Chain A
Amino acid sequence: MKRSKKIFLQLGACIIFISVVGILINNLAINLTRTGLGFNFNWLFKPASFALAEHPLPYNSSDSYAWALFIGWLNSLKVIFSSLILATILGILIGLARTVKNSLLGLISAGYITIIRQTPLLLQLMFWYFVGFLSLKDDMFINIESIFRISNQGINILGLTLSSEFAALLFGLSIFTSAYIAEVIRGGILSVSRGQWEAFRSLGISEIKGLFSIIIPQALPAIIPGLTSQYLNLAKNSTLAIAVGYSDIYAINDTIINQTGRAIECFLILLISFLLFNLLISNCMEFFNRLIINSKKYN
């Protein structure tokens, strides 16, 4: 394409884009002044006047909206990282179960993966919350004297209490994500050539030792990118917490919008917080990736 034509086309696209955005913003401004809301962030420092069931830091309803949002952010972070760890452990176990020789184990894990992947996450979360926790008798489901206790109040392990909302979210997210992680792991293991398996077997190395010291290190470069995208999905899916009543960042934004009507500002806050979550996760994974590449160089 000629240079002049290129510039002409881009100018045209630019004008169309700017005018569309301009019309939208103009409409927005008209609507905001009509409803008398305007656009500012002063409300952030007014008292929130709603209670939160779960707060890792001290909070009461006379604290500001900004503090409530920060608590929601911490709650999100808490559920994302704990289910990330649980999902990884479960996913690795199921992914390995699909690759071992025992065909029964393979069948069971394949069934698990199809059932989990073919039903919506929201349905699974509701199942865990309403069936898994709330329908338990007031008393208990499992009660081993002050060590481990599951009831409709949540889970209690050695004095550490997890509320039923948090536990339902943790289980739902971890089990859902583990099915996807298992597929990533299986794909990574299958990407290592058959000859590697035959080679370590012919050297007399046991199956389990060979898997962990020969196959998995080679599969990791193929696994890490897939794992990263699953972690990002997990972070985004954690917003479904609102369905079980866990106060994560999205649920708190939702409450604030219902109270103050500040939809645009809250949407921007949500956008920025997810940008932060995504940066956090992808940077951690990038660091991990570099660690693996470096460790390979020295070997």
Chain B
Amino acid sequence: MLNITLNSIKISLQKLKKTLFSTLLNTIISLVIILITCLVCLNTFGWLLYNANWKVITSNLPLYAFGSFPPDEQWRPATWIISLLLLSIVTLFGPEWKWLRKNLISAWAGTVPLGLYLLYGGIGLSPISSRHWGGLTLTILLTVCSSLLSLPLGIILALCRQSSLQLIQKISSIFIDVMRAVPLIAVLFFGQLLIPLFLPVGIEVDRVWRAIFAFTLFVSAYIAEDIRGGLQSIPRNQIEAANSLGLNQYQIIRFILIPQALRIALPALTNQSIGLFQNTSLMAILGLVELLGVGRSILANPEFIGQYIEVYIWLACVYWFVCTIMAILARHLEQRLTINQANF
């Protein structure tokens, strides 16, 4: 036993020597990197442990998580976030029971109405207006709602752009190209300022839904292009085969084109949703108090003035953590889909 471990250590040391210290130049580069990393790590850890004042984080934790949600009702968003986390854990590490795996998709889809019900209140819960939503809860809500709405819109746009009807194809091409040419902040600004101008007098949509609408318009154009890439990579003879089986246009789209295009576009779609999650931070400039907005308002508080580094590092960690969870979940989904393909 001991011999084997010794041997494996020896082999890995030899490998290390080969990759790090093979030539003079390599050795110099490796040594310089090790030196710099040690210095940076020592300095950072020293600062993190002794100089940083983490009170700005620890005393404001509920604010980061829920914004100005009434304290008595904060169990509601907390339940939602915890249920999302639990669902991720079950999806990743849960048992491989067939009934569980089958119902996971509906469970994921169910989180959106659950979240909206818990936040808005209504039947059995006291109603809370969207002015009080904020923090990580709002960030996640914006991400989830916009990506859920933009997926079908993106699919429709992609299909329209591939359509043989000239007029429909032109309209969707123009929409997609304009949306992809404009910066996101302009679209969001459009959502906040101009949507009320386009609505009839007397009808008002609240800020959160206007933001979700703008995000949906923007992201669906990008999703449409990703799905179009997927559609184009499906070989032509599949459609011919479906035609010869007597499937009609709708059936071909529903059962042949969309499932394959979605599977091919999945990595790109993951990137879009991670990008969307990060881009919700732009709403901090436009007046919603989501995660970054909370950070900004805390920094404006005279009690915590000037503690930029602590707040920004903490926010970066939260964003990084959620993005990583999303990436891992997506990779898991990709693996499952490829396994299914091998079974056929």
Contacts and interface: CB of A to CB of B under 8 A. Distances in A.
Interface of A: 1, 6, 9-10, 13-14, 17, 24, 27-28, 30-32, 34, 101-105, 108, 115, 118-123, 126-127, 130-131, 135, 236-240, 242-243, 250, 254, 257, 263-264, 267, 270-271, 274-275, 278
Contact of A126 (B193, B312, B327): B312
A24 B200 CA distance: 8
Contacts of B239: none
B282 A240 contact: yes
Contacts of A17: 171
B39 to A, nearest CB: 13
Interface in B253-299: 274, 278-279, 281-282, 284-285, 292
A101 B167 contact: no
B197 A263 contact: yes
B316 interface: yes
B247 interface: no
B29 interface: yes
Contacts of B324: 118
Chain A interface, DSSP helix/strand/loop, else mixed: helix
Given A1-B249, A122-B282, 10 more contacts: A1-B164, A27-B198, A27-B199, A101-B19, A104-B33, A118-B324, A135-B309, A236-B182, A267-B190, A270-B186
A126 B171 CA distance: 38
Interface string B320-332: 1001100100000
A47 B173 CA distance: 39
A85 B311 CA distance: 31
Contact of B197 (A6, A10, A31, A135): A31
A10 B186 contact: no
27 contacts: A1-B249, A9-B165, A14-B167, A24-B198, A28-B197, A31-B197, A103-B20, A104-B29, A105-B30, A105-B33, A118-B324, A118-B327, A119-B278, A120-B279, A123-B315, A123-B319, A130-B308, A131-B308, A131-B309, A236-B184, A240-B282, A250-B185, A250-B186, A254-B189, A263-B193, A263-B194, A274-B182
Contact of A274 (B181, B197, B278): B181
* Contact-residue bracket for chain B: 35 or more
A254 B193 CA distance: 11
Contacts of B37: 108
Contacts of B185: 239-240, 242, 250
A6 B19 contact: no
A30 B278 CA distance: 37
Contact of A267 (B184, B194, B249, B327): B194
Nearest to B18: A101
B20 A30 contact: no
A6 B20 contact: no
- Which 7 pairs show the lowest CB-CB distances between chains A and B? A236-B183, A120-B278, A120-B281, A118-B323, A239-B183, A130-B308, A10-B167
Given A6-B164, A103-B20, A250-B186, A121 B30 contact: no
B26 interface: yes
Nearest to B31: A104
Contacts of A31: 196-198, 201
B127 interface: no
B108 to A, nearest CB: 22
A260 to B, nearest CB: 13
Contacts of A237: 183
A119 B316 contact: yes
Contact of A102 (B29, B181, B306, B319): B29
A120 to B, nearest CB: 4
Contact of A123 (B182, B184, B316): B316
Contacts of A122: 281-282, 284-285, 292
Contacts of B315: 123
B303 to A, nearest CB: 17
A31 B204 CA distance: 13
A13 B309 contact: no
Interface in B78-123: none
A123 B290 CA distance: 13
B42 interface: no
Contact of B198 (A28, A257, A271): A28
Interface centre among A105, A115, A119, A254 (most CB of B within 10 A): A119
